[in-house]
Amino acid sequence: MKAVVMAGGEGSRLRPLTLGRPKPMVPLVNKPVIGHILSLLKQHGITEVVVTVQYMADMIQRYFGDGHGMGMRLYYSVEDTPLGTAGSVKNAQAFLDEPFIVISGDALTDIDLGKVIAFHQQKRAKITITLFHVPDPLEYGVVITDANGRIQRFLEKPGWSEVISDTVNTGIYVIEPEVLDYFEANKVFDFSQNLFPLMMEKGDPLYGYVADGYWCDVGNLQEYLRASGDILEGRVKVGSLGTEVRPGVWVEEDVDISPAAELEGPIFLGSGVRIRAGAHIVGPVAIKDNTIVDARAHVERSVIWANSYIGEAADVRGCIVGSQCNVKSQAVIFEGAVIGDATTIGQQAVIHPNVKIWPGKEIEAGAIVRASIIWGAQGRKVLFGRYGVSGLVNVDLTPEFAAKLGAAYGATLPRGATVTINRDAHRSARMIKRAMISGLPSSGVNVLDLRTVPIPVARYYTRVTGAAGGIHVRVSPFDSRIVDIRIMDAEGRNLGKEEERKIERVFFREDFRRVHSDEIGTIQYAANVVELYAEGFKNSLNLEAIRRRKFHVVLDYANSPAALVLPELLNDLNCSVVGLNERVDESRVSVTEEALEQSLTQLASICQVLGADFGIRLDAGSEMVYAVDDKGRIVHPITLSAALADLALAAQGPGGTLVLPVSAPTLFDEIARKRGGKIVRTKLDLHSLTQEAATQKATLALDGRGSFVFPDFQSMADGMMTVARLMEWLEAGQTRLSQVIASLPEWHLAGKDVPCSWEVKGTVMRRLHEQHKGQRTEAVDGLKIWLSDRRWVVVLPDPDRPMFHVHAEAESDAVAEELAERYARIVESLKG
């Protein structure tokens, strides 16, 4: 027997799932819906099949081809316009020269087709309609038969007052070929509406067979979720789901499940799925190919399609997530929600129950979505954040994204300009860097590849060679899944807001400059990169003073490229250096907070045992430093900042300038008064800090977190120069680091974070300003409220996240903590 599979359905009730595919191609656990139907036919020995297609027909044809891979022979009947159920079968009449079976390609069933066919033959029927008992027949065509099975009456989608049976038409028919002669080709003709009534009038033998087993129409989103769960829970026979690696957990090839993940079946994991440590999955759950469920994410009673990402600590419950979706960390998606393909759900966003989001949308971080989103991107069209362009590698930052960003950046520069580019040691950074390189020349920009060097070396080289700008690609210091792309100006500084917006405009408008073939930029490796830096480094120091002191230091290079540059420089300064973690190692580019604390504890112990003058741990980019003093004590970043500020102003003499953020404590003011210097406060971002440092010709600029800028050498933070200047200034003051620290005034800071949606951030700031009108305030960055000379609070809106930061200083830790807590409550109260 041959078969006709009806696969022309658009699936409007399954939107947004069917906006990018026909209904029969909607994935149902391990196969598209139509794949289950074809498997059922083959199981019953029916291998010659005509598939009638109309909506997105080529997708079905490309996926299944001629059926050879399934051991079947598939033919396709393509409708240019919908012809109705019977009309589409009529289109394939030339192929149907014997009794045949018609079955819907967008339902799920395990009905025994052999019994249906045997019943048809026994009754000598012209058509046999397969019937099924359902609890709610209102959405189906109800069929009434006599005791013999002969059909007496049809009721199409009756009301409850009309219901006299619960047997409904499944859309599975066995048909004699001569029935197709009852109507003309290429005309709209329907089985239920036209053909069956016509045959009833003629008195043709029309029978109904009430089948056992399982049948589901998969007609709406609720039925789709139910069908998926029914497959996983074994209510429908669909054959093997893969290898059962533990009770109720089936996997396909190349699946990686962390031993620290918790899985409660039934669960299906497609090829290449990754389940990270701490993830908790509660079935029934189907997760399709190449999807990642990150650490501590929770997935329950849901379906997640291929190539998606469920972020760290995200919570996905009772919902459907389409393909190529990015659900970021701590996002929550509630029951009944449906997320269309290629949608991004921002960090800490909340999607309320039954919300439907159409494909390609971007839900911003912290957003609370209570209604379905069909039109509009719903995203803040912003690329740049605090650390440049950042995102999860191969999720947010893909090679094609990076190439596009390179082309956008190049379009903002003059033709023929040169851009430097370098990276850290990680393979992710290498991949993204090479993609960036591929985009830049298309806009007529030349590229100088610095390969792998510390960020300060790249910044210095960019400035002294007259390049138009530079790019550094790195893996985040605390999370190897995240890549940062930092773009710098001709001075080696991070770009300002206006320059960032120019790139964003080109990127989002795709207004790229495509130059003629003879204007395409060149790509070359840069020469003498480290040598140029070393020359400038030594020229900016009092070499004799440092050499005279013969410093004994312990340096933790953090497995970074600084280990390829700094040892030779320090050797030239007559230093005795004990180096730790000197091998450049991509697996240790990122460290956890706990690992950092352990490394500092180790550094302190070694310094104490060796009697070192001090110990320094560089960060992976060689921009920040962590310090241990000569007594083997770990130095707090603010204390280290104050010590360097004191040493710098003492070495400079009266008139020196310190540039620091608005949130830095008042001990810096006391240091400046003591040394005859002045303080200039700026916004917290490094661009503002470094720009102000250059304008003020500052002695030193610092951020209070371990980054130090020496404007007489270069315009951005440099951890390697910090080591050298610390030695130079300690020698100039004939002192030790512990002595400088002991002389510093006390400081007491506290901080709190307050979550706040993007929509009300501006309202909170306005109300806060109004509430403190007439008080001593500063609006350099956020709002700084002075309560006395030693008490203040700064309320800062986070530029990248839906959050406020509250910083407070007072005369004791307890009072500072109380102030921060009080203003956190004030911010909370102003939100609503």
Q: What is the mean pLDDT of residues 77-85?
A: 83
In the chain, where the domains are located: 2-216, 241-369, 384-531, 540-742, 749-830
Q: Which two tokens stand for residue 522?
A: 């060149």
pLDDT tens digits, one per residue of 444-482: 999 999 999 999 999 999 999 999 999 999 998 888 889
- What does the DSSP 8-state code read for residue 15? T
Identify the three-state secondary structure at position 85: helix
Mean pLDDT over each residue of the chain, to the nearest integer: 91
Which residue carries 């027949």 as its tokens?
137
Residue 69 has pLDDT above 50, yes or no: yes
The answer, yes or no, to whether the previous bond of 477 is cis (omega within 30 of 0) is no
Residue 383's pLDDT band (boundaries 50, 70, 90)? Answer: confident
- Predicted pLDDT of residue 164: 46
Distance, in Å, from the CA atom of 386 to the CA atom of 686, rounded to the nearest integer, reads 9
CA distances from 428 to 389, 423, 507 (A): 14, 10, 22
Band (139; pLDDT cuts 50, 70, 90): low
pLDDT band at 106 (very low <50, low <70, confident <90, very high): confident
pLDDT at 685: 83
Q: Class of the 749-830 domain?
A: alpha beta
Domains 384-531 and 540-742 alike in fold: yes
Q: What is the DSSP string of 205-269?
A: -EEEEE--S-EE---SHHHHHHHHHHHHTTSS-----SEEEETTEEE-TT-EE-TT-EEESSEEE
325 phi/psi in degrees, rounded to 5: -95, 155
Q: Two tokens at 810?
A: 């007072």
When pLDDT is cut at 50, 70 and 90, the band that residue 161 belongs to is very low
**What pLDDT does residue 376 have?**
58
State how far the Cα of 150 lies from the Cα of 140, in Å rounded to an integer: 19
- Residue 246 in this model has a pLDDT that exceeds 60: yes
Q: What is the pLDDT of residue 20?
A: 85
Q: pLDDT at residue 386 above 60?
A: yes
Q: Tell me which of 198-207, 406-415, 629-638, 727-736 is least confident.
A: 198-207
What pLDDT, on the 0 to 100 scale, is given for residue 451?
94
The CATH homologous superfamily of the domain defined by 241-369: Hexapeptide repeat proteins (2.160.10.10)
Query: What is the average per-residue pLDDT within 802-814?
Result: 93
Q: What is the pLDDT of residue 163?
A: 44
So what's the pLDDT on residue 379? 47
pLDDT of residue 162: 41
Kindly provide the residue ranges of all beta strands, DSSP E only, lying in 1-53, ordered along the sequence.
2-7, 27-28, 31-32, 48-53
What pLDDT sits at residue 509?
Answer: 85
Mean pLDDT, range 422-431, rounded to an integer: 94
Task: Please state, as a whole number, how many other Cβ atoms lie within 10 Å of the Cβ of residue 452.
Answer: 18
Q: What mean pLDDT do residues 282-311 have?
A: 95
Question: Looking at domain 384-531, does it have CATH number 3.40.120.10?
Answer: yes
What is the spatial distance between Cα 765 and Cα 794, in angstroms, rounded to a whole number? 12
- The letter for the amino acid at 574 is N
Distance (Å, whole) CA 626 – CA 700: 17
* Strand intervals (E) in 641-771: 657-661, 678-682, 700-702, 708-709, 749-755
> In this model, does residue 8 exceed pLDDT 90?
no
What pLDDT, on the 0 to 100 scale, is given for residue 706?
94
For residue 533, pLDDT over 60 is answered with: yes
Q: Please, what's the largest Cα pairwise distance for the chain?
A: 115
DSSP for residue 733 = T
Reduce the DSSP state of residue 667 to 3 states and report it.
helix
The three-state DSSP-derived secondary structure of 524-569 is EECCCHHHHHHHHHHHCCCHHHHHHHCCEEEEECCCCHHHHCHHHH
Secondary structure of residue 484 in the 3-state scheme: strand
**Tokens representing 198?**
């016509």
Torsion of the alpha carbons at 609, 612, 617 and 621, rounded to the nearest 10: -150
- Closest C-alpha among 460, 603, 586, 473 to residue 532: 460
Report whether 636 contacts 626 (CB < 8 A): no
pLDDT at 137: 60
3-state helix, strand, coil in the chain (%, to 5): 35, 25, 40
CATH number belonging to domain 2-216:
3.90.550.10
**In Å, how far are 10, 29, 287, 706, 762 from 25, measured between CA atoms?**
10, 12, 16, 55, 45
In single-letter form, the type of residue at position 392 comes to L
Rounded-to-integer distance, Cα 227 and Cα 546, Å? 75
pLDDT of residue 7: 87
Residue 138 pLDDT: 64
Q: Which of 83, 118, 88, 93 is nearest to 103 (CA)?
A: 88
Name which CATH class applies to 540-742. Answer: alpha beta
Residue 153's beta-bridge partner residues? 144
Query: The tokens 């929509």 sit on which residue?
Result: 759
Q: DSSP letter for 515, please.
A: -
Residue 789, burial from CB neighbour count under 10 angstroms (0-12, 13-18, 19+): exposed
Q: CB–CB of 644/735 below 8 Å?
A: no
Q: Is 518 exposed, middle or buried (0-12, 13-18, 19+ CB in 10 A)?
A: exposed
What value does the CA radius of gyration of the chain take, rounded to a whole number of Å?
Answer: 35
User: What CA–CA distance (Å, rounded) separates 459 from 490?
Assistant: 9
Nearest to 454 by CA among 502, 486, 428: 486
Query: How buried is 536 (Cβ within 10 angstroms: 0-12 exposed, 13-18 middle, 19+ buried)?
Result: middle
- How many residues are recorded in the chain? 832
